[in-house]
């Protein structure tokens, strides 16, 4: 809880004396946009309040999980009830089965699930499983896709690492990184080249099917289908990392939207409803290589934690109510269209788009199709926009390579407030940059 009279600047200074960089997850430090991170005191519905008592419309949504808004009464009640029955058992509880069943209902090709405490753990464990099940060592990922912080996956990773301009992390042994092959998203030929170069050696292809960590990216028609065909032909397991897109772009994730079925799927974020949860799943044949049935070891003291299960189950129940996703997508479209319109009004090069309740804005005239294209954004213009919006009380993720998130708590008046603030921010942008091009020469 915030002490009264504290300020973001004072709390940041204090935090930096005890926490590395003042944060526990790198991108929270605002390094990509500059300025002082806001220390959040509480959140409710579509809003967060910082320690200075300032309110923000929340388009961060804890980076994706808060799809029903903050402190939803049904989720809070489920957590309260579960907490009264004990915080952790280290022995099975029925809610774990129920969460696995809820996942299977929306992802019908999944037969077995393993629950973890984070998306990182889910992706890391799926990777080990793929290697163990195939007996192969190499893995293939895509530049700009982020799969958490496992060593093998921090090779040219996106998200925070990308925002800092350090595409691969120090501390990852070259011996390990050499087993991670990196292809280009939306470029099937770049995958074919690697498949040809390493026949019989690639265990899996891991991909964010609808990436949200190089900002929102969408698959070109045929890309994921082609990837599926290549993997099937080569005996390579296709892993969809839907930690962000799962239960977010559609109830059944990118696989529901595209109809492309992976061998393994990784989840996180929404399935925990704000509590630490991850999961991965696939066919029984592949999943049963995992301990205790198979030789691939995986475990976690707090995996399937009852409080986390309760929050996740309550959230999944809400998103499956009739019309939930239609309303979420419509609201998100309203925001995206409104931002584009405001930018156009002031002649600021800008584009935006969304998939369900996940959206991207780009300070460039056309939405990017590749990781290379996204580098063409006007990062300085984004920084100015980010801070103008923040000062107006609208909190977007603090980076050009992050998606932003909506929730069912975002109402008509929140959209209006956001678009009014955006209009003012774009107007300022139009004045601060070069003067309008005179039309006299036409």
Ligand X SMILES: *Cc1c(COP(=O)(O)O)cnc(C)c1O
* Site of interaction with ligand X (CB under 6 A): 118-120, 123, 146-148, 208, 212-213, 241, 243-244, 268, 278
Shortest Å, Cβ 30 to ligand X = 18
Shortest Å, Cβ 246 to ligand X = 9
Nearer to ligand X by Cβ, of 268 and 398: the residue is 268
Tell me the torsion sign for CA atoms 113, 118, 120, 125.
negative
**In terms of C-beta distances under 8 Å and separation of at least 24 residues, what long-range contacts does 128-132 make, across chains too?**
128/296, 128/297, 128/298, 129/264, 129/280, 129/286, 129/287, 129/289, 129/290, 129/296, 129/298, 130/203, 130/204, 130/237, 130/239, 130/263, 130/264, 131/203, 131/204, 132/289, 132/294, 132/295, 132/296
Shortest Å, Cβ 80 to ligand X = 24
Residue showing tokens 């954004």: 377
The closest of 120, 89, 53, 70 to 405, measured between CA atoms, is 70
Shortest Å, Cβ 269 to ligand X = 6
Catalytic annotation present for 269: yes
CB-closest chain residue to ligand X = 119
Catalytic residue among 146, 185, 362, 395, which? 146
Catalytic annotation present for 241: yes
Q: How many helices (H) and strands (E) does the chain have?
A: 15, 14
Catalytic residue among 141, 156, 269, 383, which? 269
Backbone angles phi, psi at 34, to 5 degrees: 75, 175
Shortest Å, Cβ 105 to ligand X = 22
Shortest Å, Cβ 172 to ligand X = 16
| H-helix or E-strand spanning residue 8 | helix 8-16
Distance between CA 187 and CA 226 in Å, rounded? Answer: 10
Q: Which residues pair with 353 in a beta bridge?
A: 360
Nearer to ligand X by Cβ, of 51 and 206: the residue is 206
SS3 annotation, 130-151: HHHHHCCCEEEEECCCCCCCCH
CB contact at 8 A, 349 and 365: yes
Nearer to ligand X by Cβ, of 127 and 367: the residue is 127
Catalytic residue among 241, 263, 378, 414, which? 241
Q: How many CB atoms lie within 10 A of CB 77?
A: 12
Residues carrying an active site annotation: 146, 241, 269
């Amino acid at each position: 809880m915030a002490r009264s009279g504290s300020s973001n600047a004072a709390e940041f200074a204090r935090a930096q004396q005890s926490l590395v960089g003042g944060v526990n997850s790198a991108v929270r430090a605002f390094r990509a946009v500059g300025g002082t991170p806001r220390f959040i005191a509480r959140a409710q519905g579509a809003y967060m309040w910082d320690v200075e008592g300032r309110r923000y419309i929340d388009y961060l949504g804890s980076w994706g999980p808060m799809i029903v808004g903050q402190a939803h009464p049904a989720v809070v009640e489920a957590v309260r009830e579960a907490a009264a029955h004990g915080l952790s058992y280290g022995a099975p509880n029925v809610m774990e089965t129920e969460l696995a069943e809820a996942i299977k209902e929306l992802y019908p090709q999944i037969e077995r699930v393993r629950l973890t405490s984070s998306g990182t753990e889910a992706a890391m464990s799926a990777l080990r499983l793929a290697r163990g099940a195939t007996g192969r060592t190499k893995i293939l990922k895509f530049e700009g896709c982020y799969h958490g912080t496992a060593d093998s996956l921090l090779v040219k990773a996106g998200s925070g690492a990308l925002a800092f301009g350090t595409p691969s992390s120090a501390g990852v042994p070259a011996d390990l990184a050499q087993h991670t092959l990196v292809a280009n998203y939306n470029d099937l030929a770049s995958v074919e080249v690697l498949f040809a170069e390493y026949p019989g050696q690639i265990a899996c292809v891991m991909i964010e099917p609808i990436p949200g960590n190089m900002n929102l990216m969408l698959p070109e028609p045929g890309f994921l289908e082609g990837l599926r065909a290549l993997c099937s032909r080569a005996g390579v397991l296709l892993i969809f990392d839907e930690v962000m897109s799962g239960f977010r772009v559609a109830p059944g994730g990118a696989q529901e939207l595209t109809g492309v079925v992976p061998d393994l799927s990784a989840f996180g974020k929404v399935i925990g409803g704000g509590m630490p949860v991850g999961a991965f799943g696939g066919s029984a044949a592949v999943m049963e290589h995992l301990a205790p049935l198979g030789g691939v070891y995986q475990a976690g003291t707090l995996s399937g934690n009852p409080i986390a299960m309760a929050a996740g189950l309550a959230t999944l129940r809400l998103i499956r109510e009739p019309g939930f996703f239609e309303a979420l997508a419509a609201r998100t479209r309203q925001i995206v269209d409104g931002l584009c319109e405001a930018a156009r009004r002031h002649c600021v090069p800008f584009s935006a788009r969304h998939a369900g309740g996940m959206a991207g804005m780009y300070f460039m005239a056309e939405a990017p199709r590749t990781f290379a294209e996204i580098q063409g954004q006007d990062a300085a213009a984004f920084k100015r926009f980010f801070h103008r919006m923040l000062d107006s009380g609208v909190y977007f993720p603090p980076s050009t390579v992050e998606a932003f998130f909506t929730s069912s708590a975002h109402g008509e008046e929140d959209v209006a407030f956001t678009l009014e603030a955006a209009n003012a921010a774009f107007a300022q942008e139009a004045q601060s940059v070069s003067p309008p091009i005179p039309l006299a020469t036409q």
